[in-house]
Structure 1
Amino acid sequence: MKSNFYICNNFGGNKVHSETILNLAQKYSDVNHYVFVPYNNKITLEKNFINSENLFVYYIYFYKFLKFFPLFKSFFIFFKILFKCKRDNIEWGNGKILAYTFWSDGIIALYFNLIFSTPFSVFVRVTDLSIFFKYGYHLRPLLYLIGKRSEYIYFPSLALKKNYLKYSFLNKSINKLCFMPNSLNDFWLNNIFHFNNLIKVNKKILFVGSFDENKNLNQVFKACLSLHDSRKDFKLEFVGGSLNNIKTLCGINSIPDWVSITEKINNKEDLLLKYRESNILLVPSFLETLGMVYLEAISQGCFVIHSKNQGIDYLFNDGFSYAVDPTNTQEISCLLDKLLDKDFQLDSSSLKEKLNLFSSVNVINLYSRFFD
Structure 2
Amino acid sequence: MILHITNDYANSAVYKNLISNLDQNGIEQIIYTPVKSKKSIGGNLIELKEKESKIIYSNILNMHVDRVLFNVKINKIYKDIQSKVDFKKVTCIHAHTWFSDGAIALKLHEKYGIPYIIAVRGTDLNQFWKLPHLKNQGIEILSHATKIIFITPRYQERFLELEKIKKLGNEIVKKTVVIPNGLDPYWLKNIEARKTKLSSPYMLLYIGVFTETKNVIKLVKSVKNIIEQGIDCKLTFVGGGGSQEKEIFKLIANNLHFEFLGNVYDKNELKSIFNETDIFTMTSVKETFGLVYAEALSQGVPVLYSENEGIDGVYDENIGVAVNPRSIKSTADGIKKMIDNYGQFNFEPKEIVAKLDWKKIALKYANLYKEVLNNETTP
Given the two structures, how large is their TM-score scaled by the length of structure 2? 0.89
**Match among 162, 170, 175 for residue 167 of structure 1:** 162
Please state whether the residue corresponding to 2:92 is helix, strand or coil.
strand
Please state whether the residue corresponding to 2:163 is helix, strand or coil.
coil
| Paired position in structure 2 for 1:260 | 259
CA gap of 1:46–1:218, structure 2 versus 1, over 3 A, is same
1:247/1:254 contact within 8 Å kept: no
**Match among 10, 13, 33 for residue 11 of structure 2:** 13
Deviation at 1:316, TM superposition (A): 2.3
| Paired position in structure 2 for 1:104 | 100
Please state whether the residue corresponding to 2:130 is helix, strand or coil.
helix
1:99/1:121 contact within 8 Å kept: yes
| Paired position in structure 2 for 1:145 | 140
Please give the residue correspondences for 1:1-372 in structure 2 after superposition, counting only pairs within 5 Å.
3-29=1-27, 31=28, 33-54=29-50, 55-60=53-58, 61-64=60-63, 65-85=65-85, 90-92=86-88, 94-135=90-131, 137-170=132-165, 171=168, 173-198=172-197, 200-231=199-230, 233-241=232-240, 246-249=245-248, 252=251, 254-344=253-343, 350-372=348-370
Deviation at 1:232, TM superposition (A): 5.1
Figure out how many residues of one structure are paired with residues of the other and give that number: 362
Tell me how far apart the structure 2 counterparts of residues 129 and 20 of structure 1 sit (CA, whole Å): 23
- 2:17 is aligned with what amino acid? E
Please state whether the residue corresponding to 1:196 is helix, strand or coil.
coil
Tell me how far apart the structure 1 counterparts of residues 346 and 191 of structure 2 sit (CA, whole Å): 10
Where does structure 1 lack aligned partners over 5 or more consecutive residues?
Answer: none
Where does structure 2 lack aligned partners over 5 or more consecutive residues?
Answer: 371-379
- 1:212 is aligned with what amino acid? T
Deviation at 1:216, TM superposition (A): 0.8
Q: Deviations over 1:309-330 (max 9, x none)?
A: 1001112242222210112112
Q: Deviations over 1:245-295 (max 9, x none)?
A: 544246537240121001121111111121221111111001000000111
* % identical aligned pairs: 25
Tell me how far apart the structure 2 counterparts of residues 117 and 321 of structure 1 sit (CA, whole Å): 46
Q: Deviations over 1:325-361 (max 9, x none)?
A: 112112211221232243427799x431233221112
1:93/1:118 contact within 8 Å kept: no
Which range is displaced more, 139-148 or 279-288? 139-148
Tell me how far apart the structure 2 counterparts of residues 299 and 275 of structure 1 sit (CA, whole Å): 10
Tell me how far apart the structure 1 counterparts of residues 277 and 261 of structure 2 sit (CA, whole Å): 14
Q: Deviations over 1:170-191 (max 9, x none)?
A: 4552321000111112211221
CA RMSD of aligned residues (A): 2.2
Please state whether the residue corresponding to 2:355 is helix, strand or coil.
helix
1:158/1:179 contact within 8 Å kept: yes
Deviation at 1:94, TM superposition (A): 4.1
Deviation at 1:49, TM superposition (A): 1.4
Which range is displaced more, 225-234 or 215-224? 225-234
- 2:147 is aligned with what amino acid? Y
- 2:186 is aligned with what amino acid? F
- 1:181 is aligned with what amino acid? P
2:278/2:302 contact within 8 Å kept: yes
Deviation at 1:142, TM superposition (A): 2.2
